[in-house]
Structure 1
Amino acid sequence: MIQPAKRPDLKAARARRAATKIGDWVLHPDLGVLRNESGEVRLNAKSLHVLLVLLDAGDKGVSRDSLLDQVWGESYPTDSVISRAMADLRAAFGEKAGEQKYIRTLPKYGYQFVAEHRDFDAEESQPVTMAAPSHARRYRHHYLLGAVVLAAIVLLPQIVKNPPPAETSLIVLTGQRPLTSAPGLEHQPRIVPGSEWVVYAVMRRDRSDWDLFRVSLADGLSQPVAVTPDVHEHGPAISPYGDELAYVRLSDSGCEVVTQSIALGVPEPLAQCTQKFATLVDWSPTENWIAYTIAQQTEVDKLRRLYLVDRFSGKMQRLTNNVSPTGTDFYPRFSPSGRQVAFLRGEPQPDHRTTLWIVNVDNGEEKQLTDLPAQLGGMTWTDEARLLYSFSDAGHMRTRWLDVNSGESRPIESVELVHPEYSRDEKLLVATALRSDRDLVLLSADGELGTVAQSTSDDHHGTLSPDEAWLAFISQRSGSDELWIAATGDDTARRLTRFDGATVRYPDWHPDGQRILVTVQTGAGEKLYTVDIVSGAAALVPTTFADLTTPRWLPDGDSWITGCRNADGWGICLGNAEDVTRIAERYYRPRPYIDGSVTVVDSDGTLFSLSLSDGSVDELWDGLPGNGRYGWVVDENQLFFLAGGETGNTGRLHRRDLESGETEVLHSGPMPLADSNISIGAQTGTVLFTRFEDSSDDLLMFEGVELD
């Protein structure tokens, strides 16, 4: 049960303050950014709220207790959140360690904003607006202040900003709080007009049944709406007045669309549906129409189209004109006026592609909005001209905002979401957060397994720093695969990169522990970047190769080894600050080994050692599972590798002595196999790898969401 909590009002704090001139910076509270002539720094919601409270206090100090009360309410676990927010703000303003030009610490009391500030005159020259790359911030994590001095000489001279997105800037969802946390899978939320309740479908973990529930936004209490044994009840739609719902009932006797009073709970049959293609239904704002999918037999084929059924007369009217015998039109969503219906059109071949369309209810005119090789996870109208939709990308769900008239598209920064539902009146967004996530786990020398950097998002590709004090990993916490860093044993993590629209992979620490080499995959191929762990500055590795991937630093710290591809195919390359040179053909996934050599694998899964001095190759083992695609790493003569288990996504972590050939299983459990990463902590005798964690798909609520 979600207990009611005091809700700090960031929206009101933003509204009280116009753009503010602070030194050479301009704060834009409505956008949550600081701007100057050098660029733009995006503040997270809590840091922005703290700054607004300090500014509102004028020349007076604000106590820590007051900050906790105004910014966090009852939602903070410890007052260390204030210290973190202050470190973020000082880093955003570019303060060096010990400086207090902007924020003064008042010992044993709190903080005071001391920099001169005034309302920003709109007629003044505006600072340059940039795409808010996180590595443009002079960011210093509070754990590292005073301990690390940023070097003036960077290994690669070409410091670059993130690739400019093809669309406008990100929309960042804030005000997030869990709405449900039941052990089942909660999907298909629908906000009841007035926003007092959310109706949703729950699928049992064994997928044996669907039921409908409603949850109160005030206290988080859930109540059953339609729970019938051996009957699937799902795909709810709410009437415009919020007193009735329509949904699909599937049972051994057939498929039907029913309506039901939310108060009385007695279903009334409205129309027959096609069981195999029954999905969500939707209720028009004019109340008379309900839209759903029907498989209609024609003279040639069975066509799966959207139909409208009159709520009062039962009269049917075809809405869409799908002509593909294998395609299906489904997931209808009426626009606020009821004049348009957004829907999904799916094709099973060649790649289960789903596209987003709209159809004019009056004349049947259809318009395709997306053409992505992806599966879509639902959509919601934010106003008459704009949609929010989710789609799959590289195995993860992304969310975008789309103008149906201009085609303008913007990415949404959030956790992985499907089935979004938006209430414009209440500025409320409810969606299903995908919680079948990957977490990083550490296997100790004595066999104890512990989770590190745990979150409700995908955390994977973890690697330990040379001193094993820090953990770098790839995470979906911001909505896309980015590089994050955390102190070992501390769940507090910091995001280092912001390659919006790209995928970050394969992090590897420099021997000095101050830089990380990563692969960044975009539509233009795979490139390498070095990322400074203090500032987040990213440096592109210059190369003529089409792709560089799975890099590893060599022990000298002056060069690295990497997979590379050009017109001749894949091979192994040796790189440094000046050049990237191909040294071997047909091998993949290099790893540093011993005595000036590296380990590589061929397409058959045979493991070799490759000499960097003369290019000679020696076979080490011909049995690497998954043809080398599964995670593996060599530590001296010890090979650690993943192999499949007996069922499903179960895997096994093995250790093999390359000299004796002896192999033992270290751990067995649910884990991703392909494209996984294993890291060895030689000092502590630990093994870091990725594991699937048992969890459920729950509903998340985002408050104060402006999507106009």
Structure 2
Amino acid sequence: MSLDLTSDLLQINFKMPQGSKNGMYSFDRYKLDVEKLMLYRDDTEISLPPKIVKTLAVLIENRGSILSKDELIEKVWVDSIVEESNLSQNLYVLRKTLGAKPDGGQYIETLRRRGYRFTSDVQIMERTPDLSNGTEAKTSRTQIGVEREGNVLRLVDWTIPERLDKNAIATPDAPASRKSSLLKYTFAIILYAAAASAATALYLYSRPENVTSAERHADLTVTRLTTGNYVRDATISRDGNYFVYNEELDGTSRVWLQQTGRSQRVEIIPGGKWPICCKTFSPDGKFIYFLVTGAREKRNDLYRVATLGGMIEKVLEDVNSHVSFSPDGEQIIFQRYSAEKKSASFIIAASDGKGDQRELLASNEQFRLVYAAWAPDGKKIAFTSATQDPRSEGVCSLSTLDLESRAINPISNERWGTCYRMEWLRDGSGLVMIGTREGETNSTKRDQVYFISYPAGRSHRLTNDGNRQEYQSLGVTNDGAILAVPYSRSSQIWSLDANGDSRTAVQLTTGTADGRGSIAPLPDGRVGYTGRSGDAINVWIMNADGSNQEQVGDAAAVQDLNVTPDGKYFVYANESGKDSVLYRMGTDGSDPVELSTSEEFVIDSTVSPDGARLVYDVWKTNGNSHDVELRNVPFNGGESFTLTRDNCGVPHFSPDGAYVSCINFSRPKVAVLSAKDGSTVAVFDAVRSALLNSGAHWTPDGRALVYIVHQKNVSNLWKQPIDGGNPEPLTDFTNGSCYSLAYSWDGSRIYVARGDEIRDAVLITNYK
């Protein structure tokens, strides 16, 4: 959607030196409107975050002068404290957007240890009608609109609902003729990883043309509640006085209670090795309910503890979601999953766990129930449901169930890619939900906080700074304040000696998501990797020293990347709509060819050292979980066979091609299989706090497997000897997080995607 900033943007008053009466400049093919904070190339609008455009404006208005980092930060972020990385990212985006000058030089010059200078000739312009209110400019949406300014945010994307399709869902206590209105849901695999914006933010606000000016919203405010704590699974009491969250350290969960607006906190649940999640305050604020996964029972049980700490009491067994309370606090509703039936149900029970439990609603073969929220009037339940088919085109549906008539009605007619935890506003005027609109699953708009009005069902996104929101962290106070936990994960590619000595590490890239999905070194020394460009995740390639970085091919949702031993082809999985299909293309981006069928949902693959065979994983939905199998196929076509159906994925061939490593997600463990027949050769327990989504990579000599372990808030590579010896650290990084790794073809270097994770709880207000 094109942003008409002259009519829809809530205006921002920046105090900037005015070199032009109308704030209009031109240089080469570009025009800059300082007043509107808009940049144009050949009269085509380039949609950039206003703070990035402001960075360019400050440089141009001080052209010829050298601005130090501190001076530039002070002029761009007036009255705000930000890290240098914010400026570095703005300059990176500007350089990438502007490209080279006609003479081959850079528009923005870096003078070592001195600062930055704008180098192009600039002309001052008079404002013209077609760049102001009169004419709609063409739009090139090359970047995501993100704006930070003090403690204020502005919103984006009103959506006008489309008509909802209707499908059946079983209601055990209601006549079979009753129908629910449900939409389809896209397949998504949730990796519980982390980090949140440590600063407050200002957002762009836009709306469709047929939304009247009366529907504009006031400035939205975000207040940071924590300062650098590694926050997970947070929620807030209804009176807003306290919030609670987890911290994970070396596999130990600690639950902290903190007074809102204060830095002091109290540990209310002793640290332990058991996973704790899905916390909810009781309506009166006296108790915190939470789930614990038992090591022996392999199920989730519901517990509660007094808010200020005390005896921990077991309430119910076999609970698979956070609980939602009836208005009087006497009853709770939650999801329960039956592995035997491979079906989920919503259950109503007494909040103290006593008495009978009643099944309210059950999944059917088409749809599974996900989350439920009891309405403030006590008369209905809001719930989300999703299709069982991971390849379904559609979306999660939002509906209400009338507790008296059992009628099911849609809340929102919009199409959703994901829908997670949701909470009602206490006045019943709407719900807040963590979710993703259809088609945005692989974009920076995934997993955002939405307000959905009721009964109109209109939604607008409250967050849009490029960070995802933790899907289990949500809470709403009596006055409508929203607690959320955004997280950001910057990722750059580093190269270091194969012995893991961090002192040899050299940073090769400066992007925000370089190599986070995958790194694929080529035999000729170049390095392929996944990288983000706007909302797309593409294939990129660079020289071994990080020079000549360029995008190859048009794939826009790349999930994994490999290269053939002859260096001729990239092999990658690309998600499109309901499919995730394996492709082969030339390393120059030419001739993409499908290697798997659209009937398979493929994520990870590996090519044998002789280039003759390909092993890849196929994911299938099975109730509330996923089944994974490995398939072995000839690279150039021919008879294929299933290597294993034992939920083992993320395969990697051994250097001699005799074995395949994979991650058994059911345990989790690292397994070694025969590449010939899939028989199990060895199984290793993963180190506690291992991050196995990148798999276990073989060392060049084939004697060990290397994977990522995150301990004490730092990621390092660990090495597991194949002969069964104890695992030990390979690298010795003292900060940052690692996401993926790969050895160079000659075995002399390790490439690692690593960066910083930021995660803090925030409070969102003034959004209606």
**Distance apart, 1:89 and its partner CA:** 2.5
Decide whether aligned partners of structure 1 residues 521 and 292 sit closer, same or farther in structure 2, where only a CA change above 3 A counts. closer
Aligned to 2:319: 277
Aligned to 2:289: 247
Contact map agreement 1:304 1:329 (CA 8 A) in 2: yes
1:124 maps to 2:172? no
1:6-44 CA-partner distances (Å, limit 9, x unpaired) = xxxxx9994548997654878799998645666543435
Contact map agreement 1:17 1:29 (CA 8 A) in 2: no
Contact map agreement 2:301 2:319 (CA 8 A) in 1: no
Decide whether aligned partners of structure 1 residues 477 and 32 sit closer, same or farther in structure 2, where only a CA change above 3 A counts. same
1:421 maps to 2:493? no
Decide whether aligned partners of structure 1 residues 175 and 477 sit closer, same or farther in structure 2, where only a CA change above 3 A counts. farther
Distance 2:501 2:584 in 1: 29
1:198 maps to 2:243? yes
1:293 maps to 2:334? yes
The residue matched to 1:85 in structure 2 has which SS?
Answer: helix
Aligned to 2:518: 461
**Distance apart, 1:245 and its partner CA:** 4.8
Unaligned segments of structure 1, at least 5 residues: 1-10, 135-165, 167-172, 527-546, 570-587, 657-662
Aligned to 2:163: none
Distance 1:109 1:439 in 2: 23
**Distance apart, 1:653 and its partner CA:** 4.9
1:384 maps to 2:430? yes
Contact map agreement 1:307 1:320 (CA 8 A) in 2: yes
Kindly provide the amino acid, as one letter, of the partner of residue 651 in structure 2: Y
Contact map agreement 2:197 2:488 (CA 8 A) in 1: no
Contact map agreement 1:62 1:112 (CA 8 A) in 2: no
1:463-506 CA-partner distances (Å, limit 9, x unpaired) = 346774x643225898874446677678x998959989833543
Distance 2:555 2:265 in 1: 37
Aligned to 1:430: 484
Distance 2:389 2:250 in 1: 29
Contact map agreement 1:306 1:318 (CA 8 A) in 2: yes
Decide whether aligned partners of structure 1 residues 504 and 302 sit closer, same or farther in structure 2, where only a CA change above 3 A counts. closer
Decide whether aligned partners of structure 1 residues 681 and 308 sit closer, same or farther in structure 2, where only a CA change above 3 A counts. closer
Kindly provide the amino acid, as one letter, of the partner of residue 127 in structure 1: A
Aligned to 1:141: none
Distance 1:36 1:592 in 2: 46
Aligned to 1:686: 748
Q: Quick check: 211-220 or 332-341, which moved more?
A: 332-341
Decide whether aligned partners of structure 1 residues 323 and 123 sit closer, same or farther in structure 2, where only a CA change above 3 A counts. closer
1:502-553 CA-partner distances (Å, limit 9, x unpaired) = 335436699999x989664313867xxxxxxxxxxxxxxxxxxxx7713344
Decide whether aligned partners of structure 1 residues 504 and 602 sit closer, same or farther in structure 2, where only a CA change above 3 A counts. closer
Contact map agreement 2:586 2:592 (CA 8 A) in 1: yes
1:665 maps to 2:703? yes
Decide whether aligned partners of structure 1 residues 119 and 195 sit closer, same or farther in structure 2, where only a CA change above 3 A counts. farther
Contact map agreement 1:460 1:474 (CA 8 A) in 2: yes
Decide whether aligned partners of structure 1 residues 274 and 607 sit closer, same or farther in structure 2, where only a CA change above 3 A counts. closer
Aligned residues: 570
The residue matched to 2:136 in structure 1 has which SS?
Answer: coil
Aligned to 2:683: 646
Q: TM-score, normalised by structure 2?
A: 0.51
- Structure 1 residues 261-660: aligned runs within 5 Å: 262=307, 264-265=308-309, 273-277=315-319, 279-282=321-324, 291-293=332-334, 304-307=345-348, 321-322=361-362, 331-333=371-373, 341-345=381-385, 355-359=396-400, 365-367=407-409, 377-379=420-422, 384=430, 387-389=433-435, 398-399=446-447, 413-415=466-468, 417-421=470-474, 430-431=484-485, 433=487, 444=497, 459-464=516-521, 468=525, 471-474=527-530, 481-483=537-539, 502-506=557-561, 520-523=574-577, 549-553=583-587, 564=595, 599-600=612-613, 630-632=651-653, 643=661, 644=672, 646-648=683-685, 653-654=697-698
Sequence identity (%): 12
Kindly provide the amino acid, as one letter, of the partner of residue 116 in structure 1: I
The residue matched to 2:318 in structure 1 has which SS?
Answer: helix
Decide whether aligned partners of structure 1 residues 600 and 407 sit closer, same or farther in structure 2, where only a CA change above 3 A counts. farther
Distance 2:36 2:349 in 1: 41
Decide whether aligned partners of structure 1 residues 700 and 400 sit closer, same or farther in structure 2, where only a CA change above 3 A counts. same
Contact map agreement 2:448 2:468 (CA 8 A) in 1: no
Distance 1:94 1:228 in 2: 52
**Distance apart, 1:125 and its partner CA:** 0.4
- Structure 1 residues 134-149: aligned runs within 5 Å: none
Contact map agreement 2:606 2:652 (CA 8 A) in 1: no
Contact map agreement 1:379 1:390 (CA 8 A) in 2: no
Contact map agreement 1:332 1:344 (CA 8 A) in 2: yes
The residue matched to 2:321 in structure 1 has which SS?
Answer: coil
The residue matched to 1:276 in structure 2 has which SS?
Answer: coil
Decide whether aligned partners of structure 1 residues 42 and 287 sit closer, same or farther in structure 2, where only a CA change above 3 A counts. farther
**Distance apart, 1:357 and its partner CA:** 3.3
Decide whether aligned partners of structure 1 residues 130 and 426 sit closer, same or farther in structure 2, where only a CA change above 3 A counts. farther
1:273-325 CA-partner distances (Å, limit 9, x unpaired) = 531016323457x776764328799xx999943548699xx999989544769
Decide whether aligned partners of structure 1 residues 357 and 128 sit closer, same or farther in structure 2, where only a CA change above 3 A counts. same
Contact map agreement 1:238 1:282 (CA 8 A) in 2: no
The residue matched to 2:651 in structure 1 has which SS?
Answer: coil
Distance 1:473 1:231 in 2: 36
Aligned to 1:7: none
Contact map agreement 1:474 1:482 (CA 8 A) in 2: yes
Aligned to 1:43: 48
Contact map agreement 1:483 1:504 (CA 8 A) in 2: no
Aligned to 1:170: none
Kindly provide the amino acid, as one letter, of the partner of residue 461 in structure 1: S
1:399-438 CA-partner distances (Å, limit 9, x unpaired) = 2566575687989743573224377999976337599x99
Contact map agreement 1:504 1:520 (CA 8 A) in 2: yes
Decide whether aligned partners of structure 1 residues 70 and 548 sit closer, same or farther in structure 2, where only a CA change above 3 A counts. same
**Distance apart, 1:127 and its partner CA:** 0.6
Kindly provide the amino acid, as one letter, of the partner of residue 684 in structure 2: T
Distance 2:385 2:42 in 1: 46
**Distance apart, 1:55 and its partner CA:** 7.9
Contact map agreement 1:36 1:128 (CA 8 A) in 2: no
Distance 1:507 1:475 in 2: 14
**Distance apart, 1:631 and its partner CA:** 3.2
Kindly provide the amino acid, as one letter, of the partner of residue 305 in structure 1: F
Q: TM-score, normalised by structure 1?
A: 0.54
Decide whether aligned partners of structure 1 residues 82 and 12 sit closer, same or farther in structure 2, where only a CA change above 3 A counts. farther
Contact map agreement 2:538 2:556 (CA 8 A) in 1: no
1:89 maps to 2:94? yes
Distance 2:243 2:10 in 1: 25
Distance 1:419 1:257 in 2: 17
Distance 1:84 1:256 in 2: 44
Decide whether aligned partners of structure 1 residues 282 and 224 sit closer, same or farther in structure 2, where only a CA change above 3 A counts. farther
Unaligned segments of structure 2, at least 5 residues: 1-8, 17-21, 145-185, 187-194, 200-223, 295-299, 617-629, 662-671, 673-681, 687-691, 710-716, 721-738
Contact map agreement 2:196 2:485 (CA 8 A) in 1: no
Distance 2:521 2:420 in 1: 35
Kindly provide the amino acid, as one letter, of the partner of residue 322 in structure 2: L
**Distance apart, 1:229 and its partner CA:** 8.2
Distance 2:110 2:389 in 1: 62
Distance 2:766 2:608 in 1: 47
Distance 1:409 1:188 in 2: 23
